Amino acid sequence: MRLVVARCSVTYEGRLAAHLPEAIRLIMVKADGCVAIHADGGAYKPLNWMNAPNTMVEHADRWEVFNPKGERLLITMHEVLSDESVALGVDPGLVKDGVELHLQVILAEKPWVLEEGLNLMRREYPTDLGPVDLMCTDRYGALVAVEIKRRGELDSVEQLTRYLDRLNLDPRLRPVRGILAAQAITPQARLLAEARQIDTVEVDYDGLREAESTELRLF
Amino acid sequence: MRLVVARCSVTYEGRLAAHLPEAIRLIMVKADGCVAIHADGGAYKPLNWMNAPNTMVEHADRWEVFNPKGERLLITMHEVLSDESVALGVDPGLVKDGVELHLQVILAEKPWVLEEGLNLMRREYPTDLGPVDLMCTDRYGALVAVEIKRRGELDSVEQLTRYLDRLNLDPRLRPVRGILAAQAITPQARLLAEARQIDTVEVDYDGLREAESTELRLF
DNA sequence: GTGTATATCTCGGGG
DNA sequence: CCCCGAGGTATACAC
């Protein structure tokens, strides 16, 4: 990784046009070639950047970075204050726990917490618009598509609606109804779901996880 | 801005739990207090981070970063290889051109480029599912909801459909039709829009901007 | 503050 | 390769 502190101005031309007036900034060049220009604030997002793969041409007074899509980043160097390189090696990577997948696994084991009599048929049931999180049958044997989210918002209802439209085109499946399950559901999403006859269920993730570990302790 | 290169391991506990095994990384601390841990690859996004506002406590062998939401970032320092600070000053900030807002402003001034006789009634017209970009009247006085995008894709059609459904529930407004305006519209979006009687218009942003600056020069 | 939409979103998975 | 969905999304903007 190369770290350059410089008084510079920057122009980006690509998906939009953007310009940075002259100021002192940190320019980070990673081993994969990606370039990021950081100010001393504004969360972790750089002011300007160019991801790999790209080509960098270093002139005396400016850097030009191109990528295959025709985007272009031009850094004009007015004064280089420092320029250091350090070898970091390959990173072993990030281990995560507690994302949507976890909630899906728990609900796949106990779909009846969403509705009495609900039974799992299959997880990640494929449609040609993407997979339904849980495909279940209800107490009467009818099909129910369940979409699981951490937060249920308008987009979630749209997504489930698309799946339902698709599934209900198939006479062997029809009728399929939907349930949106999330730890929290916005009133607007609830409104839209209701208008489309989609049920909404708020799920207590922490409670379920607790119950799960209690069962593990019992056996 | 402070730049520390260190062999470290990291734990985050907050909206999820995440862990980074021991490796050499760059730790960036900005003037606003935000902390970002970078590997030598993977675009501009850090492996782990904690945005401002937060509190950092620096112990001999570890850094603890907390934020008011109860999230926690723990950096265990196994070996500090370098630790430098540099003053960057306040950044004048990024100037952008070509995002959706600009297109919206231009089209609000000249809605008739979308359709002859179109007249602006109101920008950001509210519905209970979100705001319509432009609410217009057509040459016959009927209402037209315009959704503006840089790129018109399936989601854009869904979004406009949602608004139209909502607006057409109101007998004082009905009937309201829709126009999707974008610099480019995918064939799939065009197809879906057509199936829903929604008009699509591709807009020449550069041409409009050019026309706008010409007018400015004339007056 | 809440809620919605945008983003040069980034990133990863599946066809 | 593109498409789609998730994200500790972050960020801006309107109400």
Per-residue model confidence as pLDDT tens digits over B159-217: 999 999 999 999 999 999 999 999 988 888 898 899 899 999 999 888 888 887 777 65
Q: Same domain, yes or no, for B78 and B131?
A: no
Per-residue model confidence as pLDDT tens digits over A86-119: 999 888 888 887 677 788 988 999 999 999 999 9
Bridge partners for B2 per DSSP: B29, B85
Write out residues 189-208 of A within 8 Å (CB-CB) of B.
Answer: 191-192, 195
CA distance B133 to B167: 13
Mean pLDDT of A59-73: 93
User: For position A215, what pLDDT does the model report?
Assistant: 67
Backbone Cα Rg of chain A: 25
Average predicted confidence (pLDDT) for chain A: 91
Mean pLDDT of A158-178: 92
Task: Characterise B43 by phi-psi region: left (phi > 0), alpha (psi -120 to 50), beta (else).
Answer: left
What is the DSSP code string of chain B?
-EEEEEEEEEEEESSSEEEEEEEEEEEEE-TTS-EEEE-S-STT--SEEEPSS-EEEE-SSEEEEE-TTS-EEEEEEEEEEEEEE---------EEESSHHHHHHHHHH-GGGTSTT-EEEEEEEEEBTEEEEEEEE-TTS-EEEEEEEEEE-HHHHHHHHHHHHHHTT-TTT--EEEEEEEEEE-HHHHHHHHHTT-EEEE--HHHHHHHHHHHHHH-
Q: Same domain, yes or no, for A54 and A110?
A: no
Map residue A159 onto helix, strand or coil.
helix
CA A48 to each of CA A80, B141, B158, B187: distance values in angstroms, whole numbers, following the listed order: 18, 45, 32, 32
A10 within some domain: yes
A168 within some domain: yes
Cis ω for the linkage preceding B92 (within 30 of 0): no
Mean pLDDT of B107-129: 93
B180 within some domain: yes
Q: Same domain, yes or no, for A81 and A108?
A: no
Q: How confident is the model at residue B218 (pLDDT cuts 50, 70, 90)?
A: low
Write out residues 2-61 of A within 8 Å (CB-CB) of B.
Answer: 3, 5, 15-21, 23-26, 28, 30-32, 34, 36, 38-49, 51-52
Q: Same domain, yes or no, for A176 and A79?
A: no
CA A37 to each of CA A41, A45, A77, A125, B5: distance values in angstroms, whole numbers, following the listed order: 12, 9, 12, 43, 18
Map residue A150 onto helix, strand or coil.
strand
CA distance A94 to B182: 38
Residue B193: burial class (beta carbons within 10 Å; 0-12, 13-18, 19+): buried
Contact between chains at B34 and A40 (C-beta distance less than 8 A): no
User: For position B93, what pLDDT does the model report?
Assistant: 87
What is the DSSP code string of A101-148?
HHHHHHHHH-GGGTSTT-EEEEEEEEEBTEEEEEEEE-TTS-EEEEEE
Q: Same domain, yes or no, for B198 and B149?
A: yes
CA torsion sign for A108, A182, B188, A15 is negative
Contact between chains at B44 and A34 (C-beta distance less than 8 A): yes
A214 within some domain: yes
Domain boundary among B19, B51, B85: B85
Q: Same domain, yes or no, for B34 and B111?
A: no
List chain A residues with CB under 8 Å of B93.
20, 47
Which positions in strand D are less than 7 Å from the protein's CB atoms? Answer: 3-11, 13-15
Domain boundary among B85, B115, B143: B85
CA distance B141 to B177: 12
User: For position B206, what pLDDT does the model report?
Assistant: 82
The two structure tokens encoding residue B10? 């990291």
pTM over 0.75: yes
Q: Same domain, yes or no, for A12 and A116?
A: no
Write out residues 149-168 of A within 8 Å (CB-CB) of B.
Answer: 154, 158, 162
List chain B residues with CB under 8 Å of A73.
none
User: For position B108, what pLDDT does the model report?
Assistant: 94
Q: Same domain, yes or no, for B151 and B179?
A: yes
Contact between chains at A95 and B18 (C-beta distance less than 8 A): yes
The CATH number covering residue B40 comes to: 2.70.180.20
Q: Containing domain of residue A211, as a range?
A: 100-218
CA B159 to each of CA A127, A137, B30, B178: distance values in angstroms, whole numbers, following the listed order: 22, 30, 38, 11
Q: Same domain, yes or no, for B70 and B142?
A: no
B117 within some domain: yes
A157 within some domain: yes
The CATH number covering residue A204 comes to: 3.40.1350.10
The amino acid at residue A65 is V
CA distance B27 to B79: 13
Chain A interface, best mutation among B5, B9, B84, B91, by max A CB count within 10 A = B91
Q: Same domain, yes or no, for A122 and A162?
A: yes
The amino acid at residue A133 is D
Mean pLDDT of B111-123: 95
Contact between chains at A16 and B165 (C-beta distance less than 8 A): no
CB B44 within 8 Å of CB A51: yes
Per-residue model confidence as pLDDT tens digits over B138-153: 999 999 999 999 889 8
Domain boundary among B28, B62, B85: B85
Q: Same domain, yes or no, for A40 and A11?
A: yes
Q: Same domain, yes or no, for A120 and A203?
A: yes
How far out from the chain centre does Cα B105 lie?
17
Q: How confident is the model at residue A55 (pLDDT cuts 50, 70, 90)?
A: very high
Which of B16, B39, B89 faces A96 most closely, judged by CB atoms? Answer: B16
- Residue B90, phi then psi, degrees to nearest 5: -80, 140
Contact between chains at A89 and B41 (C-beta distance less than 8 A): no
B42 within some domain: yes
A209 within some domain: yes
pLDDT above 70 covers what percent of chain B? 98
Which of B15, B18, B129 faces A154 most closely, judged by CB atoms? Answer: B129
Domain count for chain B, please give it.
Answer: 2
pLDDT of A47 > 70? The answer is yes
Using alpha carbons, select from B65, B85, B87, B63 the residue that is nearest to residue B76. Answer: B63
Residue with structure tokens 């909630």? A103
User: For position A173, what pLDDT does the model report?
Assistant: 92
Q: Does B121 touch chain A if contact means CB atoms closer than 8 Å?
A: no
